[in-house]
Amino acid sequence: MCFGDHTFDTVHLSYRDHFPENRPRGIAEGWGFAIELPAVLDMLDAVAAGQVQAADARAALLEGVAQLYGPLRCFEDEDEDDQLAVCRARGGCPLCQGERKGWFDGLLDSADRQWARFTAPEEYPFTAGQNGIHETTCSVVAHHNPATYARPAGPAYVKALRRYVHSVDPHSDRSDFDGDQDYPRMHSMTTEEAHQWISKNTGPKGGRNYKRCARCSPVV
């Protein structure tokens, strides 16, 4: 561990040994970490001798925390608000760079396709939602889709990614997250695709496992 002109060799820094309730703070700020006492005493001696500044010693300790934060997956133990604060402060985090980024990019790919279909009702005249089938121009479909949509890029992408990553439930179907209303979800279909969808959602005895919208009364 280095700070100032001093190097402290083989400093033992550990995590998850103790979370003192009387000194709560974010894990990225050192909560849950422990360091060997001899190393601390050596640092204090160096500070007392005027060889290094106390601020440099503090920064070195937090740098040690930062180096272990990702590899030890400390972020998994953070409060959600603290996770987001750390991510914003550092311009990213392991969650934003991990598999959830792939989930978000997949969401955007799907949203691009759904929006292209939704905005071409002459080619995709029918739309399926959670509760049944509609005409694509139905007001119910418009209500459940955003008024406008464009794939985020640049800083807007980073902001949208961060919002998704830090609010999505990884144990769900990943459709519930902050800002989910900003992305088209309903599936617009050609007439042939609508026939296939109806067939798939019709039971072996002809029973319908879906509803036809009472407002637009789609005729497929």
**Are 46 and 114 found together in one domain?**
no
Residue 26 placed within a domain = yes
4 band by pLDDT with thresholds 50, 70 and 90: low
218 within a domain of the structure (yes/no): no
**Structural domain ending residue among the three candidates 67, 89, 111:** 89
- Classify residue 200: in a domain, yes or no: yes
pTM reported for the whole predicted model: 0.69
Q: 15-33 pLDDT, tens per residue?
A: 988 888 898 888 888 889 9
How confident is the model at residue 3, as a pLDDT?
A: 67
Q: Is residue 167 included in any domain, yes or no?
A: yes
Model confidence pLDDT, tens digit, residues 78-104: 777 888 888 888 888 888 988 899 999
Q: Which domain holds residue 65?
A: 2-89
Pair 129, 48 in one domain = no
CA distances from 39 to 4, 36, 43, 87, 156 (A): 15, 6, 6, 30, 44
**pLDDT tens figures, 58-83:** 998 999 998 898 888 887 787 778 88
Query: Does the structure show a pLDDT above 70 at 215?
Result: yes
Residues 62 and 145 in one domain: no
Question: What pLDDT shows up at residue 82?
Answer: 82
Structurally, the chain folds into a number of domains equal to 2
Mean pLDDT, the chain, as a whole number? 90
Tokens 């088209």, residue located: 184
